A and B are shown apart, each in its own frame.
Chain A
Amino acid sequence: MIIADPRPLLAHQCVRFEDGLSLDCGVELRELTVAYRTYGRLNRDRTNAVLVCHALTGDQYVAETHPLTGKPGWWDAVVGPGKPVDTERFFVIAANVLGGCMGSTGPLSIRDDQRPESGRTLPWGTDFPPVTIRDMVRAQKRLIERLGIARLFSVLGGSMGGMQVLEWAALYPDCVFSAVPIAAAAYHTAQNIAFHEVGRQAIFADPDWEGGRYWEHGKVPARGLAVARMAAHITYLSEQALTRKFGRRLRSGPSLTLFDDLFEVESYLRHQGSTFVSRFDANSYLSITRAMDFFDLAAEHGGDLAHAFAGSRTRFCVISFSSDWLFPTAQSRAIARALNRAAANVSFVEVESDKGHDAFLLDEPAFHRTLSGFLSGSAAAAGL
């Protein structure tokens, strides 16, 4: 047997669905696994569940030490006891997305379409069928059902997580009491797709990618994946944030060499790239970036985003950040206006921040106050 995943073997908490999942691309996954984590306690009426959707490179380890990196959970600032998403009040669920690499079905999973006579159990790799944001949401819905929850009090997430939030509200409106798409968009723009394509090409260009079958050779396309991460990371930060953190400072003295001395920002990006490689699978990166690129919620509803939310009784809170140029405020405003056209209950706030797209992950008190207030107001309306 070929070990597809060079990372330390981890036993992720997960549920398996033997009846599989029908994907938007027409392929039937024969078996579906959803890895997940929960925080807090489900109340007796099962009405206090909050689903947190993660972004491109996030995972289900939202509010606890990450088992691979040893670092705090990616939304530790937001989810936890007494925090905006208060785990003393809410039962928080987070699932690894379909196509991910932290235990849910994805390119690292053993493929389920092999003939038994082949005698080998191979991972999907690049043959993993293309998945969509809607497929990810359908997989999450299966998990929620398995947990015995009929309606989520709230679905929230940033960036690609926000795309899932919008898809949840459109696909299962009666299962979502409140929805918080943060730093998100209803479709991926040409610019968004372009940046992703740079990342994908960096992976393809790495000889260690081996046409997507790097696991057969005991390799990982570390350089390509790292460059993809570096390019993407620039889009997550604002120019002000980079200037504030690094300016034009060199790591050593102000000497002029071609490559020996590093600008601090170079060193930072290299670090981001190299640490990413140790926790993420390249084919997963390809699969998920593609899912984001395919996303266009209005197109799924006859070209009018308002149709996606027609008759919705969900309470929405759309949040953007002023310095986010990857998912700019204009995108969030377009969502808010579509919700207005659907006569939905919507709050819309642009949080003043110089931290760029990543602001939703960082310590941003104004954002936390907004989120916390919206959830409290919604909890009152829900009778929680």
Chain B
Amino acid sequence: MNAEPHLTAPNGIRYVAKNLRLDLRLIAGMIAPDSRVLDIGCGDGTLIAHLARERGCDARGIEIDMAEVAEAVARGLAVMHGDADIDLAHYPDQAFDYVVLSRTLQAVERPREVLRQMLRIGAHAVVSFPNFGHWRVRWQLFSRGRMPLTPTWDRPWYETPNIHPCTIRDFFALCAVEGYRVESWLAADQAGMRAPWRRASRLANLFGEQGVFVLQRTPNVRKDRPA
């Protein structure tokens, strides 16, 4: 089969990965090649383009911003206009191997329901979110008594789209309540570089600017089993 000219630069160097945002590269690294992926809030489709071209995935996206959708489709990507809070309900069970939600969980209306839907339609959920437990956030709230403004939390409270901020430990707690198995997790700084404290959640919660989690739904626990 002919090489696709737009997949590689004229000199044969694949350029997609180089341009991939660092945190997206982190997520891409958690996804098995040749899998079926749905990226919720995919923007202009950078991650799914990378997954499709570099890892042979059947990668699709949902995006709420119509201009981004048009951009993505014009790049030949399978992206549909939709809202994570509404449109996930229309996908069948286990239609994907991975469902990705990158830096969007804190902005949806019903994060808990969105997570449920992700693990209903996909075998794995890959979730990244900005960590509200970072020391800079804590310090600002403590020292000034005002809502924090940091490079990650960079909009004032009255116009931020981030209506459901949480910390890394909060997220662990939610996973426990919902019975999700945390397959892997890490904390990263804003640029997506891995932080060294990914084994200690308390330290990660203090020093990680964002958390990246891979979740799995645990099989339903049988009620008749003795505790």
Residue positions of A touching B, CB distance < 8 A? 315, 317-318, 333, 336-337, 340-343, 345-352, 366, 369-370, 372-374, 376-378, 380, 383
Interface range for B? 20 to 34
Q: Is B6 an interface residue (CB 8 A)?
A: yes
Q: Who on chain A is nearest to B77 by CB? A: A377
Are A377 and B80 in contact, with the CB atoms below 8 A?
no
Are A369 and B81 in contact, with the CB atoms below 8 A?
no
Q: Which of B86-94, B101-109, B145-153, B180-188 lies at the interface? A: B86-94
Are B75 and A377 in contact, with the CB atoms below 8 A?
yes
Contacting residues, chain B, for A378 (C-beta < 8 A):
76
* Complex alpha-carbon distance, A97 and B53, angstroms: 39
Contacting residues, chain B, for A350 (C-beta < 8 A):
66, 81
Contact of A369 among B2, B4, B74, B77 (CB under 8 A): B74
Are B91 and A373 in contact, with the CB atoms below 8 A?
no
Are A345 and B70 in contact, with the CB atoms below 8 A?
no
* Complex alpha-carbon distance, A372 and B60, angstroms: 18
Q: Is B79 an interface residue (CB 8 A)?
A: yes
Are A347 and B73 in contact, with the CB atoms below 8 A?
yes
Contacting residues, chain A, for B90 (C-beta < 8 A):
337, 340-341
Are B92 and A345 in contact, with the CB atoms below 8 A?
no
* Complex alpha-carbon distance, A366 and B7, angstroms: 23
Instruction: Produce 1/0 per residue, B19-37, CB < 8 A to A.
Output: 0000000000000000000
| Shortest distance from the beta carbon of A363 to any chain B beta carbon, whole Å | 16
* Complex alpha-carbon distance, A348 and B82, angstroms: 9
Are B91 and A349 in contact, with the CB atoms below 8 A?
no
Q: Is B189 an interface residue (CB 8 A)?
A: no
Are B76 and A317 in contact, with the CB atoms below 8 A?
no
Are B80 and A346 in contact, with the CB atoms below 8 A?
yes
Residues A380 and B70 in contact in the complex (CB < 8 Å), given A337-B87, A341-B91, A373-B76: no
Are A348 and B80 in contact, with the CB atoms below 8 A?
yes
Contact of A347 among B80, B91, B92 (CB under 8 A): B80
Are B6 and A380 in contact, with the CB atoms below 8 A?
yes
Contacting residues, chain B, for A376 (C-beta < 8 A):
6, 76
* Complex alpha-carbon distance, A315 and B74, angstroms: 14
Residues A347 and B87 in contact in the complex (CB < 8 Å), given A380-B4, A380-B6: no
Q: Is B69 an interface residue (CB 8 A)?
A: yes
Residues A349 and B2 in contact in the complex (CB < 8 Å), given A341-B92, A343-B95, A373-B73: no
Are B70 and A370 in contact, with the CB atoms below 8 A?
yes
| Shortest distance from the beta carbon of A317 to any chain B beta carbon, whole Å | 7
Are A345 and B58 in contact, with the CB atoms below 8 A?
yes
Contacting residues, chain B, for A351 (C-beta < 8 A):
70
Q: Is B1 an interface residue (CB 8 A)?
A: yes
| Shortest distance from the beta carbon of B158 to any chain A beta carbon, whole Å | 28
* Complex alpha-carbon distance, A375 and B34, angstroms: 22
Q: Is B78 an interface residue (CB 8 A)?
A: yes
* Complex alpha-carbon distance, A346 and B79, angstroms: 7
A336-B81, A340-B87, A349-B69 known, 15 other contacts, Cβ within 8 Å: A333-B81, A336-B82, A337-B87, A337-B90, A341-B92, A343-B92, A343-B95, A347-B80, A348-B80, A348-B81, A349-B70, A373-B74, A373-B75, A373-B76, A377-B76
| Shortest distance from the beta carbon of B38 to any chain A beta carbon, whole Å | 10
Are A343 and B7 in contact, with the CB atoms below 8 A?
no
| Shortest distance from the beta carbon of B71 to any chain A beta carbon, whole Å | 9
* Complex alpha-carbon distance, A130 and B82, angstroms: 38
Contacting residues, chain A, for B66 (C-beta < 8 A):
349-350, 352
* Complex alpha-carbon distance, A350 and B109, angstroms: 23
Q: Who on chain B is nearest to A345 by CB? A: B78
Are B6 and A374 in contact, with the CB atoms below 8 A?
no
Are A349 and B81 in contact, with the CB atoms below 8 A?
yes
Contacting residues, chain A, for B2 (C-beta < 8 A):
383
* Complex alpha-carbon distance, A380 and B1, angstroms: 10
Contacting residues, chain A, for B6 (C-beta < 8 A):
376, 380
Contacting residues, chain B, for A340 (C-beta < 8 A):
80, 87, 90-91
* Complex alpha-carbon distance, A380 and B91, angstroms: 26
| Shortest distance from the beta carbon of B95 to any chain A beta carbon, whole Å | 4
Contacting residues, chain A, for B80 (C-beta < 8 A):
318, 336, 340, 346-349
List 3 tightest A-B contacts by C-beta distance, closest first: A377-B76, A373-B74, A348-B80
* Complex alpha-carbon distance, A337 and B1, angstroms: 34
| Shortest distance from the beta carbon of A378 to any chain B beta carbon, whole Å | 7
Q: Give 8 A-B contacts (CB < 8 Å), ordered by A residue.
A: A317-B73, A337-B87, A347-B72, A348-B82, A349-B70, A349-B80, A373-B74, A380-B7
* Complex alpha-carbon distance, A376 and B58, angstroms: 16
Q: Who on chain A is nearest to B60 by CB? A: A345
Contacting residues, chain B, for A366 (C-beta < 8 A):
70
Are B74 and A346 in contact, with the CB atoms below 8 A?
no
Contacting residues, chain B, for A380 (C-beta < 8 A):
4, 6-7, 76
* Complex alpha-carbon distance, A59 and B2, angstroms: 36
Contact of A343 among B70, B78, B91 (CB under 8 A): B91
Q: Who on chain A is nearest to B49 by CB? A: A377
Interface residues of B in 170-210 (CB under 8 A from A): none
- Chain A CB within 10 Å, residue with most, of B72, B77, B78: B78
Q: Who on chain B is nearest to A334 by CB? A: B90
Are B76 and A374 in contact, with the CB atoms below 8 A?
yes
Interface residues of B in 55-75 (CB under 8 A from A): 58, 60, 66, 69-70, 72-75
| Shortest distance from the beta carbon of B188 to any chain A beta carbon, whole Å | 31
* Complex alpha-carbon distance, A343 and B120, angstroms: 13
Contacting residues, chain A, for B92 (C-beta < 8 A):
341-343
* Complex alpha-carbon distance, A230 and B132, angstroms: 60
Q: Who on chain B is nearest to A332 by CB? A: B81
- Chain A CB within 10 Å, residue with most, of B70, B79, B82: B70
